Amino acid sequence: MTAEAAVVIPALVLLVAGLLWGLMAAVARIQCVDAARAGARAAARGEPASGVAQAVRSAAPPGARVEMTREGELVRVAVRARTAGPGPLTVELRSEAVALDERRAVGDGAP
């Protein structure tokens, strides 16, 4: 084995590992976005908190945390999850979705 190969092979392994970590983080981010949207839609339809949590957990990455708040006629669902990885490569991802509470909007006479 030449000296160049001894340097290039570990560098390539690190590059591939970094690319795989980035891909896994991107997938987890997309799952957080989808989960927040699903939760906001369920909450806007008037699902109970357990139904909203179930909708979020079905689309969220493992270990995700859910926060739901109501602000007037709006329902806000936030999903937080941590990426897989060692130490400093573990990053917290957060996504939030907002929807109009359909029951309150209809009850107030809004179109």
With the C-alpha atoms ordered 27, 29, 31, 33, is the resulting torsion angle positive or negative? negative
Residue 66's pLDDT band (cuts 50, 70, 90): very high
Distance from the Cα of residue 37 to its chain's centroid:
10
Mean per-residue pLDDT over the chain, rounded: 88
DSSP 27-51: HHHHHHHHHHHHHHHHHHTT--HHH
Q: What is the reported pTM?
A: 0.80
From 81, 73, 78, select the one nearest 38 (Cα to Cα).
78
Residue 107's pLDDT band (cuts 50, 70, 90): low
Please answer whether residues 32 and 24 qualify as being in contact, where contact means their C-beta atoms are separated by less than 8 angstroms: no
pLDDT in tens, 20-65: 999 999 999 999 999 999 999 999 998 898 999 999 999 999 989 9
Whole-angstrom distance, CA of residue 85 vs CA of residue 25: 9
Q: Where are the alpha helices (DSSP H) in the chain?
A: 3-44, 49-59, 102-107
Residue 14, burial from CB neighbour count under 10 angstroms (0-12, 13-18, 19+): exposed
